[in-house]
A and B are shown apart, each in its own frame.
Chain A
Amino acid sequence: MGEVLLTHKLEGERLELAAGGSWTATHAGELEALVERVAGEAPEAKDVSIDMAGVREFDTFGAWLLERLTRQWTKSGREAVVVGLPEHDLGLIEEMQGVNLEAVPKPVRQNPLVNSFAAFGRAGVDFGHDLVIFAGMLGAVSVSLARVVLHPRDYRLTSTIHQFDRVAWQAVPIILLITFLIGAIISQQGIFHFRRFGAELYSVDLVAILVLREIGVLIVAIMVAGRSGSSYTAELGAMKMREEIDALRTMGFDPIEVLILPRILVLVVALPVLTFLGSMAALYGGGLVALLYGGISPEIYISRLSDAISLTHFKVGMIKAPFMGLVIGIVACAAGLRVKGSAESLGLQTTNSVVQSIFLVVVLDGLFAIFFASIGM
């Protein structure tokens, strides 16, 4: 430290520079400032000599800054000579002389306003693309399903069972817990508000209908989208990144049949099962709160339940479940296959997968509501 890196003095029409100390990466910041200052020095000088004899350490950073200095002078039509470089550093200077900065394509800067409009437009176009991809995936899955129906022996049962374990079985505890809590909360709110009219018992109807028709299946679908949809996307995306999917294809396997069909079928089966379990947990939670908070005894709760609910309510919930599983599976797998080379795109597609599948699940629920209303269910 404290060494003088660069000194200059003017001798007639000749600018003489003497370098010293460490011309290395560690001092690159200081050196750069010095070099820039010296480059503007003494415009009247005709030629420049740089004496490097005093330099103790030298690396590519030093070499480049020296090269930059000589380039600047040569460009303004003056002559620059470098003297006193040790033999073994010449190779480094040679490397630096070959560096051609002109060939570097400059990154294009765009107007931010134009950019934001472009992004808006692109989002619209992307949405259209997403729909097309969704339809394409649905078609591809149907084709491979048809093939499996014709040749059931080709179906990958082991993989399916493995996926079922991960997606359904391992999800049971968390789904039971959440739906239990939701049932309890609905029941508490119902009792609290109906109590003013002395109609606490109707809170049982509220819990039963809401849970069986809507909340049970929706909560489960959202949980599964966050839990399994995201992991589908991440798995398939990572496989895509490491060319594993291309490898499968070259070995004559259809990635849709090997990877995607079992995953989607598992979701289609798992969602009704989880919905059923979730709904039961919610009713149980509701009953517990009814007893502890509303003083409704279990016998009354159950008899009220059997009055309030019909098989229709139950069917409405259960019919929706497999469709929601299908939507989640297709969105998640399609997003996985859209992952490009970078880790960032993997993250982006995983987010997309969860957001889109939750959105579509809600939209689907709305469409079903209209449908059931019109057929009087």
Chain B
Amino acid sequence: MTKKNAVIKVRDLEVGFGDQTILDHLNLDVREAEILGVVGGSGAGKSVLLRTIIGLVPKRRGSIEVLGVDLAKANEAERRALERRWGVLFQQGALFSSLTVRQNVQFPMRENLEISQNLMDEMSIAKLEMVGLTPQDANKFPSELSGGMTKRAALARALALDPEIVFLDEPTSGLDPISAGDFDELIRTLQQTLEITVFMVTHDLESLYTACDRIAVLADGKVVADGSIANMLESEHPWVKTYFQGKRGSMLADRQMNA
């Protein structure tokens, strides 16, 4: 496999709140058109890393380059242009509560594209169907959705503009295993057809096995291991070992081997 160039380059990143340092000299590359799974214990700083990359959390030190643009040095126009090229699925969904699901999906289209209302309606339905929602759900408000439906609707909104990179914060948490499987498959399909790059924070071992091309493990504020599943199984780092070779991890590993 030829090594593709990195679309996200994180160098020497340090992030903290108050006197607490969350990320400490962290380096990470995300390559073009790959699905990167980021794992780590609760509170390891996965969400913070994601939010720092998209510019929501200020960094103390280091540099972040996304699609060749350094957000810290970019001007307002460059920033906006960059923000159009990525989509974000937040851990809590973050749907706009006073808009219906359909309006939520249309919101980025309305702001960024010059297309007719008719096409917008059709596209929003298409996106909703892609993520597995029914057209009946289109007119519901976020407070009327189940947890899993919220995730799906938020993904549809993240995909509204066909971004080049999608950031997903625990997309499959709170989904039933079948839906979670579908979700992984969907992300795979999207990545293959649209060649998008996916940065996925997850706790779901199944997703790591089926969807991710590469895995990065976050611990002690650093990436302590990265590579394929096989690399993870060989790793000597205690947390990585427990995670991938624990009861649930090895069960999946066996299944993978036998398949």
Closest to B96 in A: A343
A101 part of interface (Cβ distance < 8 Å): yes
> How would you classify the secondary structure of chain B's contact residues: helix, strand, loop or mixed?
helix
B19 part of interface (Cβ distance < 8 Å): no
> Complex: how many Å from CA A342 to CA B103?
14
List the 10 closest A-B pairs by CB distance, nearest first.
Answer: A341-B143, A344-B98, A342-B97, A59-B162, A29-B114, A104-B135, A92-B193, A103-B135, A342-B98, A91-B193
> Complex: how many Å from CA A54 to CA B64?
36
Looking at the complex, which one of B114, B136, B144, B194 makes contact with A60 (CB distance below 8 Å)? Answer: B194
**Assuming A25-B112, A64-B123, what are 4 further A-B pairs, CB within 8 angstroms?**
A29-B113, A88-B192, A99-B126, A104-B125
Q: Write out the residue numbers on chain B whose beta carbons fall within 8 Å of the beta carbon of A89.
A: 193
A374 part of interface (Cβ distance < 8 Å): no
A11-42 vs B, CB cutoff 8 Å, 1 = contact: the mask equals: 00000000000001110110010000000000
B179 part of interface (Cβ distance < 8 Å): no
B142 part of interface (Cβ distance < 8 Å): yes
> Complex: how many Å from CA A92 to CA B193?
6
A265 part of interface (Cβ distance < 8 Å): no
Q: Write out the residue numbers on chain B whose beta carbons fall within 8 Å of the beta carbon of A29.
A: 113-116
A78 part of interface (Cβ distance < 8 Å): no
> Complex: how many Å from CA A114 to CA B127?
35
Interface size on A, residues (CB 8 A): 33
Q: Which of B96, B122, B159, B189 has the most CB of A within 10 A?
A: B122
Looking at the complex, which one of B115, B129, B143, B161 makes contact with A100 (CB distance below 8 Å)? Answer: B129
Interface residues of A in 31-75 (CB under 8 A from B): 32, 59-61, 64-65, 68
B91-120 vs A, CB cutoff 8 Å, 1 = contact: the mask equals: 000001110000000000100111110010
Known contacts A25-B113, A91-B192, A105-B135; is-contact A342 B141 (Cβ 8 Å): yes
Interface residues of A in 65-99 (CB under 8 A from B): 65, 68, 88-89, 91-92, 95-96, 98-99
Q: Which of A24, A98, A104, A342 has the most CB of B within 10 A?
A: A104
Q: Write out the residue numbers on chain B whose beta carbons fall within 8 Å of the beta carbon of A101.
A: 122, 125, 135
Contact A343 B126 (CB under 8 A): no
> Complex: how many Å from CA A101 to CA B135?
8
Interface size on B, residues (CB 8 A): 35
The interface of chain B, by Cβ under 8 A from chain A, is 96-98, 109, 112-116, 119, 121-123, 125-127, 129-130, 134-136, 138-139, 141-144, 159, 161-162, 189, 192-195
- CB A336 to nearest CB in B, in angstroms, measures 16
> How would you classify the secondary structure of chain A's contact residues: helix, strand, loop or mixed?
helix
Q: Which of B119, B130, B142, B143 has the most CB of A within 10 A?
A: B119
A107 part of interface (Cβ distance < 8 Å): yes
Looking at the complex, which one of B97, B126, B138, B139 makes contact with A64 (CB distance below 8 Å)? Answer: B126
- CB A113 to nearest CB in B, in angstroms, measures 24
Contact A25 B161 (CB under 8 A): yes
> Complex: how many Å from CA A295 to CA B161?
74
Closest to B143 in A: A341
Closest to B102 in A: A104
A340 part of interface (Cβ distance < 8 Å): yes
> Complex: how many Å from CA A360 to CA B195?
62
A sample of 19 cross-chain residue pairs with beta-carbon separation below 8 angstroms, ordered by A number, consists of: A29-B115, A60-B159, A61-B123, A64-B123, A65-B119, A91-B189, A92-B193, A92-B194, A95-B193, A96-B126, A99-B122, A99-B126, A103-B134, A103-B136, A104-B125, A104-B135, A105-B135, A341-B143, A342-B98
- CB B146 to nearest CB in A, in angstroms, measures 13
Interface residues of A in 83-135 (CB under 8 A from B): 88-89, 91-92, 95-96, 98-101, 103-105, 107
